[in-house]
Amino acid sequence: MSKKLRPVLVGALGTASVAAIVIATPALSSAAPAPAPPAAQAASVLASGGDLASPEKKEIAMELVSSAENSSLNWKAQYKYIEDIGDGRGYTAGIIGFCSGTGDMLELVQAYTDAVPNNPLAKYLPALKKVNGTDSHSGLGTPFVNAWKQAAATSAFQTAQNNERDRVYFNPSVNQAKSDGLGALGQFIYYDAIVMHGPGNSSDSFGGIRKTAMSKAKTPAQGGNETTYLKAFLAARKVIMKQEEELLGQLDFVVASVHSKLRMPAKEMTPRMLAAVRNPHVRVLGHCTGRLVVGRGRPESEFDAEAVFTACRENGVAVEINSRPERLDPPMRLLRLAAELGCEFAIDSDAHAPGQLDWQGYGCERAIKAGIGPEQIINTRTAEELLAR
């Protein structure tokens, strides 16, 4: 299962794949050319866009994937990125989303340490080994986050990230695409898929998607038509992406919260939040500003609050009153705005342990202070009433 797939991509082709189709070469025009004879497959790779590994095309590929993952073409800005996005994989970091819980962050730091023994991250290798396979921060925490950012400012760690990206994702996907007789566009489509869905041969990984596509159409290397095959590949990928949407439909109650890229501009964050609120499965918009008000703190995300809260009212989505002491989200001015716009609310403790359930009282106090009555709070309803929507 992909560690990179994001709900915003569900039900449609990934942003990067769509971009790839927009810049399609003549070999992928609507008027499909006749299949090239097997002896001409090597020539067809060059004819349909050349080699994605060439420096200028590789740079474009990095920018396109970054546009889907980070809403920015500046992929190099992600070397220093690190946060826990709440997906059960611990820290997610760097240019390709290396995760402390899935082993690839451990492999990266080990490779970096092999090259530069006295680096800021070397002392965290024992902790990374212990947390591998979990979402734990044990032995890591703020000191590790700071060390990551310190290392990311060095060319040695940037090179290590590039090398791991190429070893695990770029080289395998591009080499496989070339073996399948695909040009630069097809090579990019493979790379985008392996980044989003992960390497491997399960049905929802890159290898499984390719296997499904090959059951529908021949690759150019097999004598097939490149356009026909890539359409089959993208169709197979779309099926996998829609499965996450179908999974949401199997849940009794869905809360949507922003957990990554909290500092993106309002013009990008607002449509992101509106898309979540308008999803028919979503019932609550969680900690809408993402702020933290204790310790080093974290500023509020920027978005058009009136537009988002209006969409919540129109789509029957409650606004969470987050009771966790370090969040207390939304701030009072936004809580009052949501109430004025006619929103409903869900008071949530955001407990991560049984003893934290008592925090819900803080949310009740904030609701009273904002003039929100019991009739506006969905916690006061029975389970049957909540599920009747």
Q: Which of 63, 87, 135, 166 is catalytic?
A: 87
The label of the residue with tokens 């569900």 reads 10
Task: Tell me if 216 sits within 8 A of 236, measured CB to CB.
Answer: yes
Is residue 87 part of the annotated active site? The answer reads yes
What is the pairing mode between strands 345-348 and 98-99?
Answer: unpaired
What is the pairing mode between strands 98-99 and 91-93?
Answer: antiparallel
The CA distance from 145 to 360, in Å, is 30
Instruction: Provide the β-strand partners of residue 178.
Output: none
Residue among 68, 96, 227 nearest 161 (CA): 96
How many CB atoms neighbour CB 264 within 10 A? 18
The CA distance from 77 to 99, in Å, is 18
Is residue 306 part of the annotated active site? The answer reads no
The CA distance from 358 to 298, in Å, is 24
Task: Tell me if 110 sits within 8 A of 163, measured CB to CB.
Answer: no
Strands (E), the chain: 82-84, 91-93, 98-99, 254-256, 282-285, 318-322, 345-348
The CA distance from 21 to 24, in Å, is 5
Tokens representing 279?
Answer: 């999803």
Residue among 89, 87, 126, 86 nearest 109 (CA): 126
Task: Tell me if 285 sits within 8 A of 320, measured CB to CB.
Answer: yes
Q: Which of 69, 226, 320, 329 is catalytic?
A: 69
Rg (Cα) of the chain, in Å, rounded? 23
How many CB atoms neighbour CB 179 within 10 A? 12
Active site residues: 69, 87
